[in-house]
Structure 1
Amino acid sequence: MIMFMKMMMVENFRQFLHVFVVVMFLLFTKSALGLSLRAEEDAKTKCIERERQALLKFKDALIDDYGRLSSWGSDEDKKDCCKWSGVGCNNHTGHVTIIDLHSSHDYQQLRGQISPSLLELQHLKYLDLNENNFSDDIIKLRNLSNLHHLNLSGNYHLKCENLEWLSHLSLLSHLDLTNVNLSKATDWVQSINNLPLLKELRLSSCTLPAITTHPPLPFNSSASLSILDLSRNNLSSSIYSWLFNFSSSLINVDLSRNQLKGPIPNSFGGMISLTNLSLHHNHLEGALPKSFANLTRLRSLDLHKNNLTEELHQFLQKLSGAEDSLEVLYVGYSRLSGSLPDFTRFSSLIELSAGYNQLSGSIPEIFRQLPSLVSLELNGNQITGSLPDLSMFPSLMELDLRDNQLNGYYTQKYWTTFQA
């Protein structure tokens, strides 16, 4: 019996020891896990010291007249740069990945130079300095190889004599250099061709050099380009040979206020994904190509101030594919002629601007069947008859019929703005 009791005591001790070991293991694991979670939480809220110092050097090179960077500093309550205004960090690593210091008002602009200390931020993916007043050479940014989004638009004093540095930013998907002087960047087409992931390109008002050669697109070129703004650059029709390489991907194209001449190319009709096309203030002439009937997703077409010598009803026939999608049509100052045609097949039409053409006849009653029409501009034509009953336009907010040959009303009454 005594031997049996001893054996039981030994067995119970073994079980106790086993349970004790398991409990201690679980407690240790929980403690270690807690430390790990706390460490991860710390990484979420505290930036890397080296990167914090780099941001402070960046700030020191700026003139901040309005205290936009007042949250940036070395005080104890400002040490976490991940909480600074305009700065974003990776939640797990603490690395700075976002700098967004765009200005929406002239009086809030930051001034000064872009400090080379930014190059310490090797994990930076998003840099937006839009509408400030920086003055520096931006080529140094070539070393920020992880950038996906770069917006330096509106900084009129930035310098850039070439765009070769863009080839080091192969991850770029959004690039906006609007108003940056690129008049010496003769390599701009080749440089853009070397950005395989580029989706949005805005180079408006950059004084871009004319295209004299047409470098072939490399194998990994930007086949995904969907938004292109090259407006206000005095570009000639030589841009077409490069532009139409992206026919299948482009959604928004703005080539307004350039020096495009001659007929509108048929190749625009091959841009089957196109939703917005702006070609206003050029020297395009003739008729709209029949190929435009292929643009079944077209929502906005702006050909304002060109020389389109055809009748308006013929023009509209070329847009038959967009009858269900077209919302905005601007064709003012374009030498279109003929009477006002039936617009009702464009059931989604919101804005129609056809002022200062050579349109004649009366305003058809059928306009009342455009339930979405908000703005109608027919001023400066040869429209006759009486001012129509405004009940014809159930949703109209703006109507401009000035400078026509309408009867019975004073000229100043031909323009009306309706109150919501």
Structure 2
Amino acid sequence: MSRSRTRGKAQARETVPGNPRTSPADLLVQAFLALFGRRFRTLLTMVGISVGLAAALATLGITASAAGAVSDQFDALKATRVTVKYPSEAVAGVRPRPDGGDSRRVRELNGVRSAGLVSRAGEQPAVSRLPGGEANDLPEGTVMAAQPEALLAMSAELTRGRWFDTGHEARRERVALIDTAAAARLTVDGGAANSVIHVNGVSFSVLGVFRAPTGDTNLTGSVVVPYWAASQDPAGLSFTPAEMIIRTDLGAADQVGEEAPFALAPGAPDKLVALVPPDPRSLRQGVESQTRALFLGLAAVSLGVGALGVSNTAYVSVLERRSEIGLRRALGASRRAVAGQFCIESGLVGLAGGVVGTVLGVQITAVTCLAKNWLVVLDPVLTAAGPLVGLVVGLAAGLYPALAAARILPAETLRAGV
């Protein structure tokens, strides 16, 4: 008797139409039809997530590409240059302005391409085309005494004329080389030996015109005389302590920076200061982390605005579809099914926005890098995760509207005739 009563209750529960089960496939179809029926609203909602995700991916790709480009440029211009500074006063046998023999010892070190001594005038000289002429407002430190190898180590490029050589140094000839910027201000057009400039009233024959490397403010606009002038001061100038400029092979700067003081001053290497460029990897990480932190903050704001747009649109949709939700609940749809449909709708919007945003982010990165002649650097893991991020954002944004839809009572909507 008890078994037949239990079996009858089970059959009754199975045949009651008040709690039908809705399959995931049905929920997916209903969510897709609901979104397709409001195509324009769905498109605008998707744009918010697309813009935020595109900004995030473009930020990651562009900053990584820019960091690589900066690091490569640093390798080419800075990572191979070592500067050794001499003391301001003679100490332990080390003079502020040594003779040229020190350069030969440094050039013999492994990894050294070129090296030369440089000393700058510590006052503002009067440089002009005519004796006693105006100084043309050339700044302090315009005149420097240097060995020819020092100009090569500083990557100066000869445009007209020729370099001075050891012969000019040995004969103590008053010759000079000028930068293109100084040549323009002094109206030295030919840049050949026929041109003459005057430094504090003392004449120097111009042998050639060179171009300073981009970004080198110390060499731009300068007048370079042979290194012997730093010790004899033919124009009455006071020169600063010398510096040894060394150009090394890529990757040899650290080693040369350690060995150069011993080659220059074996008895007192600690009296010299070797300036070695920082590791390009540290520079890359610094540029990448700082720029990425800034732009990722902006991208997060954009993505947050897009998520709020999805949430707001989904909640408005719940209010507009109260009658539909009440009817479905009256026909037996469970709270879970109603909430699941709205979550799926928000998730589909987020997924579509993630796909579009990923494509846009990749395209923006590629176009920017090609315009700047950078190597395109994209992390395939982050690129593949773009649609997944959009899906998660969409689901999170639609959670509250889905819960609000699940709490709607069918009796209230039907009674109110909403």
The normalised TM-score by structure 2 is 0.20
Specify the structure having the higher radius of gyration (Cα). 2
Structure with more contact order per residue of length (Cα contacts < 8 Å, sep ≥ 6): 2
Choose between structure 1 and 2: higher helix proportion. 2
